[in-house]
Structure 1
């Protein structure tokens, strides 16, 4: 269950200035499409690891606000970083996410993604309630916080059992940076090391 929860992780970010004047039906359709794509990746054993990674990367780039996610995860260190350091971090952040989770899709076989409903939020976003149905196991409930900005719908938060995975990751990254001297290059080096081929 833990691996499956991590697989669907995203990150909570500050949403000031985001325009989300769209309806629950549109948000549910958006999530239904993502769910189908992810389940297809989970169950399709005919594609290679490389193809699976490419498709997962496409989902991250087109359905999640990766830049805003990265800003939140870095917290105050984002402001301290140069444009080059930020760009490097966002690329490493995305690629380590792809590398960490894309190959795990092979472990799953007949899961189903279901939309349970949705709710408009006071801040203009919409929360879509979903669950992953697994054979011989309890369902996994996942709540998705969605906003629309500049006519683009993106995921800004994923809540698993009431906990934002992004907040947890922000804490972990801050710990790595602090132990390494307080600079963004510390986390960039750590992420780069994760991507290095195993010897």
Structure 2
């Protein structure tokens, strides 16, 4: 259930940034940068496509998400201190695997998006990081959501989503730290590969 909710949140992410930002006069406007990405994602979701074309639709969403989300930063943060302990080649391998994992764990469930509404809360920028607090209105349910962003050059990118107090990054960080306390990085990557295969076979749900 939490993964399905997170998937819906990711879809509507770009619709959340509006209003004034603290100390943001000299910085790019996150709303104007992210709006076209969200429009593209919603357009892909709204396209009925052909029967059996679900995988193609997911790939199209991922192509758009690559522009609005910083998967390398996400990968770095879920590994914590272990990121600096692995080689550049291993870092690239992990980014690819973690991005693929997110593709199946969240993006493939984006069909759950059904025009949920958003109420805007406090928004602030501190240095090169921004946090936007919102409420996702899903029927009778109101879900607090925060988006954490990092400024890359002139582009704001999302690197964490916090739903009902649960951080996507912290969730995976805790899981990976537990694995790395018992095994090495090679074992972690193998477990990620195995999980991805499970998703591809449809053996993992929710």
Please report the TM-score for the alignment, with normalisation by the length of structure 2.
Answer: 0.73
- Cα 1:175–1:60 shift into 2, 3 Å: farther
1:103 to 108, 114, 126: 108
Corresponding residue number in structure 1 for 2:3: 3
Q: Which has the higher contact order (CA 8 A, sep 6+)?
A: 1
Corresponding residue number in structure 1 for 2:147: 144
Query: Where do 5+ consecutive residues of structure 2 fail to align?
Result: 11-23
Decide whether the 8 Å contact of 1:145 with 1:158 is kept in 2.
Answer: yes
Query: Where do 5+ consecutive residues of structure 1 fail to align?
Result: 10-19
Corresponding residue number in structure 1 for 2:70: 65
Corresponding residue number in structure 2 for 1:158: 161
Distance in 1 separating the partners of 2:3 and 2:173: 19
Distance in 2 separating the partners of 1:190 and 1:173: 10
Q: Which runs of 4+ in 1 moved over 6 A?
A: none
How far apart are residue 186 of structure 1 and its match?
A: 1.5
Corresponding residue number in structure 2 for 1:122: 126
**3-state DSSP class of the match of 1:110?**
coil
Please report the TM-score for the alignment, with normalisation by the length of structure 1.
Answer: 0.76
- Cα 1:188–1:60 shift into 2, 3 Å: farther
Q: Deviations along 1:68-121, whole A, 9 cap, x unmatched?
A: 111111112211212221111110111111122233223x26223536155223
Distance in 1 separating the partners of 2:161 and 2:105: 18
